[in-house]
Structure 1
């Protein structure tokens, strides 16, 4: 339950802090006093959209914070742990709205607004005035049925089958598109494969051609230079090698006398060996030099062909080889499209049967829940003054020519939420056939249907808090008292915070609060005050007779409140 609510600099609220009790908490006050502002602040705490206009004039930010007792809640605990928020049995939800940004916190840990909303959805059902209109739209009726716990595991299994079916169908669609695209390119690919195969490309061929052409281009120069090296060892008068040998012998003689010459002897000997090796290599290399203009021309022609292919395909030779492998593979795939498509169609057919079976289980369970809900709403409406009411939940297959599955010879459309259309039908008068809920003219009847639904779903969902913003629209008198009794009864399952203008509903409060607007200096502020038992009586009397409270109004209010005690 909501233990406390703190609001600061929000619209007309300067600063407000209030504690709520378990049971039925009623808020009353004149129109414009600020009751809806409090609901707006609660909405903001629960993750609903809020803009900077809510910031009180002259303030930097608007703050709304609620302490909510949640007890043990494994689902909520898992959600918080997934988002790195510590779970406690009492959670502090806080929202700040600044001109520049909005911030949200759970237990002082920053969270996104979407996480705040997910947490709020597990804690509080806030029924605003617009929810009446939501109930009248057929597309929202499926969501009411799917709030029952019994449907959730079946829906989970169905969605798994649906997602797999969707994936297979997307794969088939992509394969068929690929087939069409390939058919358009087959002739081009076949030509390119032939051209590249005939080219016999090699990854390093360009470098090899360039290296060989360099040798052939410089063959004559290489031969001349190699010959000049070879001549070093074979001069006409005396060769360099003979000179080095003479120096070596002389240094040997000198080293025997003076050891310091030993170092130079080794260096000369090393130089002599190195020069001899260079001369020998030059002589051998000359025999390998190739003078081949024909080969050079052939290499130039090959180089020109590779350049042409590179320019044509806008790819390097290694990229051309990869491209060749890709398009050859594509052509191979094109030859096997029929087999691939046939295999996928077989898989889709098998998956369609799995999806069909799971869709039927969801459909049947929705029908069962619809029957249970109908009976419960009829009973609830009887308690709210609609004694001859009828309520029916129609669950019908969603037919479509493009449906994925067949049931009873019909093509049925599948969505992530199943294959059903759900619609609520109602009759509030004896002898009338049920009609779509949207056909109900009376706002009071819609209010009673909504309260009946909320009462039933509160027990099903085990939400700790329900908030009603003027659910009593369009009702009065004896019916209001019945609505109040139903709300008080519902508060035995969860805490209820409700705004009302009806004395009969206010009289049912376990705790009554007055919301009023006051002028302080040059500012107008909204305040909320918990009422004592005597103030509770006077506030109920004021709802009956207005600001001027008569003795008869006080007597009627006291009698109304005493009747609550007798009934409970």
Structure 2
């Protein structure tokens, strides 16, 4: 439960510190004194979006810190799962700087805003006036049913199988859409593959064809050049080989009289042999080079096929074309396997749906049992709150399709009059009646869920007199059994029932207005409640009535 709250430099608050006790506490103060500011600071602490405008004018940052006693609420597992240091005394702190930067801390360890929000939801339930609108929200109504029914485990199991079913359903739709699109492309893919099959591409083929085309186009020039080279080498009179042989003979003749000619002769003989081989190879190549217009046409036709495919598919090489062909083959294989995969996924979807449907039915049965209990309990709580003819009924219908909440569609039906027709509660209930219904629902929930702290922000709107007194009794009851209820109120009947009473007030100086709060002692409390009864003029009668409300003699 909330032990203390410290606020510094938030809105009109310079610095204040509040210590709270278990049971039922009240906060009062004139309109505009700053009660909503304190509630805003608590909401900021619990993860509400930070706004630099909330920082007190002229300051660099605001700080909100709260200390909670969590020793009796079995929360060690949460801290372990989130790798947080556990202590029976939990400290939450939020800082907002004028630069817009926001920081959150749990037990002095930096944490994310989402983390502090998640923990805060387990520590404090803040019920403000706008939350009365939740009464018409199906999600809230289902949540009430599930809390009273103790459906936490069943609901968790249902959400798991429902999520699995929806994921499979999404995958099936995606695969079906892909199959339909692919089947529309099947003829196109098969046509492309037929063209690739006809082309029968080979790695490195284009480069070889380009070279062969060049050779065939210039066959006559090549043959002529090779013939001239042959003549240079092998002419009988002035051929290079004949001259070299003559030179070699001269060197051989010199060897007897000029020994140094031997090495030169050996070298020239090697050159003659090499050049003879070159001459022979040139002669052979000359014979092989033939102008062949038919082959040239074949090569050009083949290159045209390759160039056409490259241009069509916007690639630069045969290798890229072959990779594209493999991709088409893969896509075609996928298309032919879609039916089998769709059938398998459809079966998985059906199994998952049956599981979700079974869990939804289990959840629905539990809710129907809880609905009877809630109808009876809520009616009994509303009777003493000025609704002697109240009728309350929970209508549960089956949805056409499953939702994340199950198969149930829920409506809270209400009538405050003896002969009234049961209708949707927010359509027929007044603001005061809705406030009493919400208080009764919160009281039921508090009995089912051990929430440490509940804060009511003017839940008494639209009620007064004896009804307010009964509502106060209900909040006192909720504040028992190690729970803590704090009510921000304008009604003296409710304020008088608090075991602790805080007053919010404003102080003006030459420069600014400051909001503050203090815990009232006996005399101050009598005077505050007397003011709530009589207004600005404090009368003896009001003081006497205040003492009577407080049970003082």
**What residue number does 1:80 align with?**
82
Structure 1, unaligned runs of 5 or more: 254-264, 399-411
The answer to whether the 8 A contact 2:495-2:529 is kept is yes
CA distance change for structure 1 residues 555 and 201 in 2, over 3 Å: closer, same or farther?
same
Paired positions, count? 532
**What residue number does 2:514 align with?**
525
**What residue number does 2:100 align with?**
101
Partner-residue secondary structure (3-state), 1:97? strand
- Measured after TM superposition, the shift of residue 149 of structure 1 is 7.1
- Measured after TM superposition, the shift of residue 358 of structure 1 is 1.8
**What residue number does 2:352 align with?**
351
**What residue number does 1:91 align with?**
90
The answer to whether the aligner puts 1:291 opposite 2:289 as a matched pair is yes
- Measured after TM superposition, the shift of residue 468 of structure 1 is 0.9
State which drifts further: 26-35 or 295-304.
295-304
**What residue number does 1:538 align with?**
527
Separation in 1 of the partners of 2:333 and 2:456?
A: 66
Q: Which residue, 398, 409, 434 being the options, matches 1:421?
A: 409
> Deviation digits for residues 20-68 of structure 1, max 9, x if unmatched?
2222221111111111111111111111234333232333333322222
- Measured after TM superposition, the shift of residue 444 of structure 1 is 2.1
**What residue number does 2:58 align with?**
58
The answer to whether the aligner puts 1:236 opposite 2:245 as a matched pair is yes
Partner-residue secondary structure (3-state), 2:27? strand
The answer to whether the aligner puts 1:552 opposite 2:541 as a matched pair is yes
- Measured after TM superposition, the shift of residue 223 of structure 1 is 9.8
Partner-residue secondary structure (3-state), 1:522? coil
The two structures have a TM-score, normalised by structure 2, of 0.83
Separation in 2 of the partners of 1:528 and 1:34?
A: 9
Partner-residue secondary structure (3-state), 1:88? coil
Partner-residue secondary structure (3-state), 1:414? strand
Q: Which residue, 464, 467, 479 being the options, matches 1:479?
A: 467
Separation in 2 of the partners of 1:92 and 1:449?
A: 34
The answer to whether the 8 A contact 1:426-1:437 is kept is yes
State which drifts further: 352-361 or 327-336.
327-336
Separation in 2 of the partners of 1:450 and 1:205?
A: 83
> Deviation digits for residues 497-554 of structure 1, max 9, x if unmatched?
2211111211111211111011122211101011123322322222222233333333
CA distance change for structure 1 residues 355 and 226 in 2, over 3 Å: closer, same or farther?
farther
- Measured after TM superposition, the shift of residue 103 of structure 1 is 0.7
Separation in 1 of the partners of 2:471 and 2:339?
A: 66
> Deviation digits for residues 67-86 of structure 1, max 9, x if unmatched?
222234045324532xxx43
Separation in 2 of the partners of 1:29 and 1:229?
A: 122
- Measured after TM superposition, the shift of residue 214 of structure 1 is 7.2
The two structures have a TM-score, normalised by structure 1, of 0.81
Please show how residues 58-457 of structure 1 align to structure 2 within 5 Å: 58-71=58-71, 72-78=74-80, 80-81=82-83, 85-107=84-106, 108-138=108-138, 140-148=140-148, 150-210=150-210, 235-238=244-247, 291=289, 293-294=291-292, 298-316=298-316, 317-335=318-336, 337-398=338-399, 412-430=400-418, 432-457=420-445
> Deviation digits for residues 463-496 of structure 1, max 9, x if unmatched?
2111111111111111111111111111124222
Partner-residue secondary structure (3-state), 1:33? coil
Structure 2, unaligned runs of 5 or more: 235-239
- Measured after TM superposition, the shift of residue 278 of structure 1 is 7.2
The answer to whether the 8 A contact 1:68-1:90 is kept is yes
The answer to whether the aligner puts 1:498 opposite 2:507 as a matched pair is no
CA distance change for structure 1 residues 280 and 372 in 2, over 3 Å: closer, same or farther?
farther
The answer to whether the aligner puts 1:459 opposite 2:447 as a matched pair is yes
Separation in 2 of the partners of 1:481 and 1:336?
A: 73
- Measured after TM superposition, the shift of residue 128 of structure 1 is 0.9
CA distance change for structure 1 residues 190 and 430 in 2, over 3 Å: closer, same or farther?
same
**What residue number does 1:510 align with?**
499
State which drifts further: 220-229 or 433-442.
220-229
